[in-house]
A and B are shown apart, each in its own frame.
Chain A
Amino acid sequence: MKKTAEQIQGDLLRPVLRTSWRFPLAVAALGIVVAAGLSAWIYQAYTGIGVAGINRPVFWGFYITNFVFWIGISHAGTLISAILRLSNATWRRPITRCAEVITVFALMIGAMFPLIHLGRPWLFFWLVPYPSERRLWPNYRSPLLWDFFAINTYLIGSLTFLVLPIIPDCALLRDKCVGWRRRVYSILSLGWRGTQRQWHQLETAMHIMAIVIIPVAVSVHTIVSWDFAMTLVPMWHSTIFAPYFVAGAIFSGIAALIIAMVFLRSFLHLEEYLNLRCFDNLGKLLLVMSLLWFYFIFAERLTTWYGNTRSEMDVLWLTQRGSYRGLFWLMVCCNFVIPFPLLAVKKLRTILGTFLASITVVIGMWIERYLIIVPSLSHKFLPYAWGNYHPTWVEITITIATFSGMALLYILFSKIVPIISVWELKAGLRQ
């Protein structure tokens, strides 16, 4: 059923203008979990990083897993918003803002983890290049510095990419609201009037941002992968890490987007906008990324296995046959075996099908990050330095709290700003 512009406006503004009883309940429940995570972090900062499960030799565990995972999730927005915008795919219109929001919040959460995992987190600002009294600047040869620059650039870029098209919708809300809300939205809309010149500036800016944000996003997860690939650790020192991580990021990002869309459409009654066509197209993209993921992991493991060097083979067998085999084969099931039929068979590629596939993909990708980091560190070169890793309640609590935090931020955002871009949808009507 083709909707008119007024109907679209009404439907999309309704979640912002009207609040059901479920909203404060959800905020409270998620807020409690986030508070628990925050307390765990404060406890850790006060007592010492030793309350986490890391040890010698596994010096990086859950926190870096989460870091890579959330930065990976943040690639949702870039793909959907920027690439589909540049290729003029019309089905992207309802989902661009959903995706861009995931990017911004996932980046913020991911960027917290380098702070959480530091031994002396109060000194994190030493990574910022500023003229200090120690006459010491940060070490630009370190991949962690590249991380700092890349993640900050991507964060600022995706914030810009998100905020710019929100301005016309804030202007819309300014006109539709009264009282204190009107004042808030008029500040947020920054003097937007809708003149031809303003629209032209906005579209030019969005076009530039779409072009710029894609190489930034590719570089961000490449640089995150180089945190590992620049070392000599067995099965880390691989050139495949850069494209492998980027592909994995887009993979998990699309899955996260699908999950977010399913919740949005049922809670906010946006079924007609986040419809089967969107899920069908995203499902096909997810299928392509699942195949790509399988290709990368196969290529990486085949090369390692064929090369047959001692230390790398030890780690390879550790994941495939040794103590990590349960997680490894679960990961393969979650990332490929289960999603493949659900997404490849047209009859199964329904909204429920893509939702289930996305859940398994998110779980599988988290396990994949864990299996990249921990087995290699636990089994480096010298046998006397081998060890095991077990997470503690602190790490588990903080991990769960980040998922809650993501959901909470998402819910709060959809209450303040329409989660589907009103002006873009209305503009799409006339095409």
Chain B
Amino acid sequence: MNSENDILVVCSEPDLARQSVNALLSAGIPNSDIILLSSEPLEHGEVPLQQRTLMPWIVACGAVGAGIGGFLLASLTQESYAIHTGGMQVVTLWADGIITYELTMLGAILTTGVVFLITSALRGRGQFPYAPEVSDGKVLVGAASVPASLRNEIIETLKRFGEIKQGRTSDSST
């Protein structure tokens, strides 16, 4: 992404964006090479681009891991220096259950945050083209790393939908 060979079209409406995505798909550009930049999320039905994410599964793993860790923390540390209080057992399932539950949730939260940061924010810098038009409400659609042979064809296809931007956009995130 964000290479010399990107071709982007500035669409003024989401409808035009949908049409241009369809045009790119029918021109043979694979799903993963299509760029779509917008200032608000476009609904699933609007633009026929498949999106998959493993985030829920990773979060579930993180939650389970944190939960197990929490239970071990509570039970093992209590056993290691067993101090009796109030006629209760040293390792109580009620209390340790609460700690486990809270740490499970914390694990889910932290995993969500970390996965999001890594996949979207940190990898985003420099990888995706920077386009200030997006903040004006425009939607940018394009193809990444277009090989020279297809360049003219793609430009022709996209010209109907709006103004064309070519090449490496300014990477200035500042």
Contact = CB atoms under 8 A, between A and B. Distances in A.
A–B direct touch in complex (beta carbons closer than 8 A): yes
15 contacts: A140-B95, A141-B86, A156-B110, A191-B120, A192-B120, A195-B37, A196-B51, A197-B119, A198-B128, A201-B116, A202-B41, A205-B55, A212-B109, A424-B40, A427-B40
B130 A193 contact: yes
Interface in A130-150: 135-137, 139-141, 145-146, 149-150
B106 interface: yes
A190 B108 contact: no
Nearest to A146: B98
Interface string A150-194: 101100110010001001100110111000001100100011111
A192 B124 contact: yes
A426 B38 CA distance: 11
Interface in B59-113: 59, 73-74, 77-78, 80-81, 83, 85-86, 88, 92, 95-96, 98-99, 101-103, 105-106, 108-110, 112-113
B32 to A, nearest CB: 10
A231 to B, nearest CB: 11
B116 A202 contact: yes
B16 interface: no
B98 A160 contact: no
B124 A193 contact: yes
B136 to A, nearest CB: 8
Contacts of A9: 137
Interface string B125-144: 11011111011010000000
Contact of A157 (B109, B120, B174): B109
B155 interface: no
Interface stretch (A75-83, A215-223, A334-342): A215-223
Nearest to A134: B81
Contacts of B134: 175, 193-194
Contact of A199 (B41, B81, B112, B122): B41
Contacts of A197: 51, 119-120
A171 B135 contact: yes
Interface-centre pick from B38, B85, B88 (highest chain A CB count, 10 A)? B38
A145 B103 CA distance: 12
B109 A160 contact: yes
B53 interface: yes
Interface residues of B, number: 63
Nearest to B60: A208
B143 to A, nearest CB: 13
Given A129-B77, A139-B83, A427-B41, A153 B116 contact: no
A36 interface: no
A421 B41 CA distance: 13
B40 A423 contact: yes
Contacts of A332: none
Interface of B: 14, 35-43, 47, 49, 51, 53, 55-56, 59, 73-74, 77-78, 80-81, 83, 85-86, 88, 92, 95-96, 98-99, 101-103, 105-106, 108-110, 112-113, 115-117, 119-126, 128-132, 134-135, 137, 173-174
Contact of A430 (B14, B36, B53, B112): B14
A10 to B, nearest CB: 11
Given A157-B105, A168-B39, A423-B39, 4 more contacts: A176-B135, A191-B125, A195-B124, A201-B53
A122 to B, nearest CB: 23
Nearest to A167: B121
Interface of A: 5-6, 9, 129, 135-137, 139-141, 145-146, 149-150, 152-153, 156-157, 160, 164, 167-168, 171-172, 174-176, 182-183, 186, 190-205, 208-209, 212-213, 215-216, 219, 223, 423-424, 426-427, 430
Contacts of B86: 141
B57 to A, nearest CB: 11
Given A136-B81, A149-B99, A196-B51, A191 B122 contact: yes
Looking at chain A's contact residues, is the secondary structure mostly helix, strand, loop, or mixed?
Answer: helix
B174 A199 contact: no
Given A129-B73, A146-B95, A157-B105, A191 B81 contact: no
Contact of B121 (A146, A150, A152, A190): A190
A186 B129 CA distance: 15
A193 B131 contact: yes
Given A194-B39, A195-B128, A198-B120, A204 B53 contact: yes
A24 to B, nearest CB: 28
A216 B134 CA distance: 36
Contact of A145 (B59, B85, B99): B99
A196 B47 contact: yes
B94 to A, nearest CB: 9
Given A212-B108, A423-B39, A192 B135 contact: no
A140 B129 CA distance: 50
A322 B101 CA distance: 42
B62 to A, nearest CB: 11
A237 to B, nearest CB: 14
A6 B43 CA distance: 20
Contacts of B99: 140, 145-146, 149
Nearest to A198: B120
Contact of B85 (A5, A141, A153, A192): A141
A192 B126 CA distance: 10
Contacts of B174: 182-183, 186
Contact of A193 (B41, B98, B112, B129): B129
